[in-house]
Structure 1
Amino acid sequence: MVAEPGQIAIILAGRYKGKRVIVLKEMSNNLLLVTGPFRLNGVPVRRVNRAYVILTRTKIDISGVDVAKFDDAYFKKDAKKAEKSEEAFFESHGKKLPKKAEKFLQDQKVLDAALLPKIKAVPMMKAYLKSSFSVTAIRPHQMRF
């Protein structure tokens, strides 16, 4: 199944397993760019391997949401290593966030502000995204996605 922008997916593994997310776009190397949005279910903008998600048939219209800046270079980590001394640890404690983290938080807020009105336009979508997915009393072989 081809992932389309606006399609709802369920994350199967990792820190956010069981969370429903919105697919923003397909990236390189079988990765999907997804978000919760963070204000609804706590899932930030992140790349997820396609093997670790279930794509559902549920979709929302996310046209007009700018996701062009989220590419592989955006998520690339800095190459420099921090000093591992005790003094350096206590010196850095209490300082402001790094510029990259502040930029990431601002980009997340802008993305959430663009997505929330589109989510609210679809009935029950907000509650659907907030709820966690689990297989308890449902027979997995009878499920439809």
Structure 2
Amino acid sequence: MRELTVDSSCSSLPNMSRNSTLVPGVSRYSRSAIYAKKALYKRNKYTTAAPAKEAAADKTVEVKGAKNGGKRTVPANKASKFYPAEDISQPKKSRKVAKAAGLRSSIAPGSVVILLAGRHRGKRVVVLKQLDSGLLLVTGPFRVNGVPLRRVDQAYVIATSTKIEIGAVDAKFNDAYFKKSAAAKSQDFLASQQEGAKAVPASKAADQKAVDKAILDAVVKTPFLRQYLSAKFSLSKGQFPHNMKF
């Protein structure tokens, strides 16, 4: 009877590892690719606070020999003799501090600027002041072009040479005046889904009227200034804003 022989190379099982080795020390997939393949981002990460340990004090030992000082201090926490085998990513420490942008020389309280972004882009508004965050507090006025009190970034406005004499702005108009709590945001979202439009609080409507009244008193003194504020800015063919004087 003839015996059957099986090649040992054919009987070996295939490599079931998710990451195979191309050459010694070089794997086919990177650590981030294996992280995605194993779906490790779906696993819950549990962190357990380590028990507090008392800081060990440095130990002083005696050293023999007349020229060795007699005593030597041995640190309790010695530096490691070896570096980690794998590179461990460390978060980058930034020394940068966020600062509010300075006000452009072409913008001052009472200046008329043109909005370049947002739902009111193309409209001319009046700058009231610069807030602590660096944003500009502007208004239409609302009765003229429909722009209410709002904050805009000065990078998205074009400053014009038109200026209105306005008085002092109330100190209550700051960044906290426009901030909403998490509960108010959720209520506004639900109300907008049900009713389609949210009502303006009576206190803010009164503030808008008070601010508009002071500005409109200055606008009526200059001819055609009200029409200038109500007209939207636009460019025709062949007009370039960097060649224009506002």
Alpha-carbon deviation of 1:130?
Answer: 0.6
Map of 1:24 onto structure 2: 128
Paired-residue identity, %: 47
Instruction: Between the two structures, name the one with larger relative contact order (CA 8 Å, sep ≥ 6).
Output: 1
Deviations along 1:107-134, one digit per CA (max 9) or x if unpaired, are: 0011111111100011211110010000
Deviations along 1:8-58, one digit per CA (max 9) or x if unpaired, are: 000001100000000000112331000000000000000001111111111
Read off the aligned partner of 2:206 and give its amino acid letter. Answer: Q
SS of the residue aligned with 2:178?
coil
Map of 2:39 onto structure 1: none
Read off the aligned partner of 2:138 and give its amino acid letter. Answer: V
Separation (CA, whole Å) in 2 of partners of 1:58 and 1:119: 11
Deviations along 1:76-108, one digit per CA (max 9) or x if unpaired, are: 1122133988xxx76xx5xx947xx22111100
Aligned in 2, Cα 1:50/1:97: closer, same or farther, shift over 3 Å?
Answer: same
The root-mean-square deviation of aligned C-alpha atoms, in Å, is 2.3
Separation (CA, whole Å) in 2 of partners of 1:123 and 1:36: 17
The TM-score normalised by the length of structure 2 is 0.50
Read off the aligned partner of 1:49 and give its amino acid letter. Answer: D
**Corresponding pairs, count:** 135
Is 2:160 the counterpart of 1:60?
no
SS of the residue aligned with 1:121?
coil
Alpha-carbon deviation of 1:74?
Answer: 0.4
SS of the residue aligned with 1:9?
strand
Whether the 8 Å CA contact 1:24–1:67 is kept in 2: the answer is no
- Of 194, 204, 207, 1:104 maps to 204
Is 2:189 the counterpart of 1:76?
no
Separation (CA, whole Å) in 1 of partners of 2:171 and 2:189: 36
Report which of the two has the higher share of helix. Answer: 1
**Unmatched segments (≥5 aa) in structure 2:** 1-103
**Unmatched segments (≥5 aa) in structure 1:** none
The TM-score normalised by the length of structure 1 is 0.83
Separation (CA, whole Å) in 1 of partners of 2:224 and 2:189: 49
Map of 1:142 onto structure 2: 243
Separation (CA, whole Å) in 2 of partners of 1:71 and 1:15: 22
Aligned in 2, Cα 1:84/1:77: closer, same or farther, shift over 3 Å?
Answer: closer
Write the mapping of 1:39-54 to structure 2, written as runs, cut at 5 A. Answer: 39-54=143-158
